[in-house]
Structure 1
Amino acid sequence: MSSVKSNVQREVLRSFIDLTVKLTVRCTSQERPDDDDMAEDRGTDKVRVGTGCIWHVREPGYNMPCFCCNCNGKITRKQWRFEIVTAKHVVYNTEEAKKTKIDLFYDDESCQKDGRMKTLWGLGVEIELCFPDKDVCNMLCVTCDEDLGERIQYAWRCRLDKLNRQQLSDLGLQQSCNKDSHPVLIVSHPHGQAKKISMGNLRYAYRNPHVEYNTPTCPGSSGAPVFGFYTVDYFWWVSPVHSGSFGTTFTERSRELNFFKRLFYKYVGHKTAHEQINFGFDWW
């Protein structure tokens, strides 16, 4: 992030990254309908991976029963409740949510060894809200890990700050995208790997109920937040949720993202070989 000029902008970008989580689901509910893509796996523990975004971190509660995977109802001094927004085809209902492992701060492979990555299990997780027609669901989560709670609360406050949302003019996103189009950035866990950030362009913003973009994604990116920039100074406050691809590819071509590599360095994967037509759903 050395090319980002101000500390405020670094914090905004850091909040994008910190609020993105990896989801590993070890259950396919019998309640999925017959026309569901995963209908054949109903009743099994076949593993799938996806991505989610932390949303609406509440102020901490004190001396309350905690239902995280470690406490199971024990009174704790301090706890945080927050939501994770993801695709409904990744986590269909509360039954699946309770069999979901949530990895936070999985930024690179070393995070697993040095303790920076934090993991939550689904004992205290339930589906709070869902939008079946938009492939979106909200999981309610809880943690009494004070370091974890304070870190995600800080990231959430940073994202909420209206002033911060106007401090992105020095990112130079237009250097990486077509001059007359709107940049779209996706933070995700492709194939369940450490976080990667990909960059593309907006195709259609109001093709209800979804938006279209060519930002590269892979299996495991489903449920990722889609950060769209209407101008270089302003982005979608409530991010659409990445759902899938129309399956259309164009002639293979290389695309150098020199600025992007400079900006995000260790988070960026290889250059894109195919241009995709992807879509995500608005849910607000």
Structure 2
Amino acid sequence: MSAQKRGAETKGKGSNKHKRVDSADCCVDEDKESLNVIEDDSGKALVVSSSDDEEDLVSSSIDVGSDESSDYHDIEESESGEADLHKRFLCCTKNSDHKGLIPLDEFSNNHIPNGDNLLYKCIQTIADLTVRVDVKIISSQRPEFWPGSTKSYPFYKSNQSNLRAGSGWVSGVRQFTDDGKKCWCTKCQGSEFSSGAWWEVEVTTTKHLVFDTLEAGNTSLRFFYDKEDSPVVIIDKVIMENLGKDKCLLKFATCDSNLGDQLERSQEKFASFWFKVYQKYLPARDEDKFSFIVSHPHGGCKRVSVGHWKEKKNEDELTRFTYTTCTCPGSSGALVLFPGYGNRFVPEFFHSGSLKSGFNVSVAELMYTQFF
């Protein structure tokens, strides 16, 4: 059963509502522990130092409660495919040394606060379910502005031939066996005999990465891209369901038992670890403020980033976080883990982009009023 659907069973009857990264933009250095975030009377969060002096106010303000998802998206764009993506990694100006983005094969529990092995294992299973999302066309239906705002919507009237790369996360896996239906994967659709046993897999990502069914039809997913010499496992036939303003659900079918079994096992392991992590960190979630992301920066192999969330804003039953956890272009759509937040089945929050202040920001999400 889909983790997304299991999580939905715990929701109340609340609302279902759910730019290219500027080279000058950078994520906040985690070493700057003197920075705090408070909210002013206008509902904006001001970055201030630990000092009480008015002179210490930083001029930037973080409007985490506005309708827009972010000031800058974190999608990588390539004019000439894979080679160009590698060049963009080398020439990155958001995080030039990529110090805050740990290669997956170097990540250990030494990177985890207090060396928590349970949390480390949970993040490892999140990595197993993280995918690279490549979109090869831009829909003419993309709006000029974000709904209800004057902020430009990503890739409005952009070059339709450029490759766009982001991240996504496997949020559901379900196996089917001879129930009157047949597998609808690319291989079976091109064959006279379709398999009677297959898996349907759901991948959640951001809508500003995959906007509509046209773009979904020109989207491919790369699995298990953990290091440069990882085997190439690509799914190139997906369909899309809209999950709200800036989230979408990509679906595909596969009768490859190796792929289906591996994803199903990984999701079961994740569900087991996350349930324990959620219970463990729930009581102190607003004190620890831990935040973790596994993504595909610049369309490259997976990297893990560790940080803290700084501010959460509730508005119209939706919540979104700002955080120091480092990202780069290519990180849009990645799952953001805030231990103790989400629900006991799935964390729910996904990376959107960054604000002018330099803080990263999640997609707005419906919060849960019942934990169990």
User: TM exceeds 0.5?
Assistant: yes
Flag structure 2 segments of 5+ consecutive residues without an equivalent.
1-107, 146-152, 368-372
Name which of 205, 212, 218 aligns with 2:312: 205
CA gap 1:239/1:168 in 2 versus in 1, 3 angstroms: closer
Deviates more, 1:61-70 or 1:85-94: 61-70
Q: Distance in 2 between matches of 1:5 and 1:205?
A: 24
Aligned-pair CA distance for 1:183: 0.6
Given that 2:183 and 2:195 are in contact with CA atoms closer than 8 Å, whether structure 1 keeps it comes out as: yes
Tell me the CA shift for residue 101 of structure 1: 1.2
Q: CA deviation at 1:65?
A: 2.7
Task: Give how far 1:76 is off.
Answer: 0.9
- Alignment partner of 1:70 out of 187, 191, 195: 187
Partner letter of residue 235 of structure 2? L
Instruction: Determine if the alignment matches structure 1 residue 106 to structure 2 residue 236.
Output: no
Report the aligned-residue RMSD.
3.0
Taking the aligned partners of 1:283 and 1:71, their CA distance within structure 2 comes to 37
Residue 14 of structure 1 deviates from its aligned partner by 2.9
SS in 1 for 2:258: helix
Instruction: Give the C-alpha shift of residue 196 in structure 1.
Output: 0.5
Length-normalised TM-score, structure 2: 0.58
The alpha-carbon distance between structure 1 residues 235 and 220, as it changes in their structure 2 partners (threshold 3 A), is farther
In the other structure, the counterpart of 1:15 is: 125
Could you list the per-position Cα deviations for residues 179-225 of structure 1 after superposition, in whole angstroms to 9, with x for gaps in the alignment? 94311000000110000000110122343432221111111100000
Task: Tell me by how many angstroms 1:2 deviates.
Answer: 6.7
Which residue of 2 is the match for residue 228 of structure 1? Answer: 338
Change (3 A) 1:41 1:227: same
Pick 1 or 2: higher relative contact order, CA cutoff 8 A, min separation 6.
2
Preserved contact between residue 87 and residue 136 of structure 1 (Cα < 8 Å)? yes
CA distance in 1, matches of 2:323, 2:211: 25
Secondary structure class of the residue paired with 2:208:
coil
**How do residues 249-268 of structure 1 correspond to structure 2 at under 5 angstroms?**
249=358
Match of 1:142, SS? Answer: strand
Which residue number in structure 2 is paired with residue 141 of structure 1? Answer: 252
- 1:29 maps to 2:139: yes
Instruction: State the shift of 1:15 in Å.
Output: 1.7
Report the equivalent of 2:96.
none
Tell me which residue corresponds to 2:266: 155
Q: Which residue of 1 aligns with 2:155?
A: 38
**Deviation per residue, 1:105-145 (Å, 9 max, x gap):** 0000010xxx3x411002xx11123312xx11111111111
The answer for the alignment partner of 2:233 in structure 1 is 118
Displacement, 1:72? Answer: 1.8
Cross-structure match for 1:265: none
The equivalent of 1:87 in structure 2 is 206
Task: Confirm or deny that 1:278 pairs with 2:366.
Answer: no
Alpha-carbon spacing, 1:137–1:2, altered in 2? closer, same or farther (3 Å): closer
Aligned to 2:329: 219
SS in 2 for 1:39: coil
Helix, strand or coil at the partner of 1:221: coil
Q: CA deviation at 1:57?
A: 0.9
Aligned residue for 1:127, secondary structure, equals: strand
Considering only CA atoms, is the larger Rg found in Structure 1 or Structure 2? 2
Hey, what's the Cα distance between the residues in 2 that align with 1:89 and 1:197?
A: 22
Q: Which residue of 2 aligns with 1:247?
A: 356
Provide structure 1 residue ranges, at least 5 long, that are not aligned to the other structure: 250-275
Q: Is the 8 A contact 2:278 2:339 kept in 1?
A: no
1:13 and 1:20, CA in 2 relative to 1: closer, same or farther beyond 3 A? Answer: same
Deviation at 1:69, TM superposition (A): 2.6
- In 2, Cα distance between equivalents of 1:5 and 1:130: 33
**Paired residues, number:** 239
- Give the TM-score of the pair, scaled to structure 1: 0.74
- The verdict on how the C-alpha distance between 1:128 and 1:14 changes in structure 2, with shifts beyond 3 A counting, is same
Query: Does structure 1 retain, via aligned residues, the 8 Å contact 2:135–2:220?
Result: yes
Higher relative strand content? 1
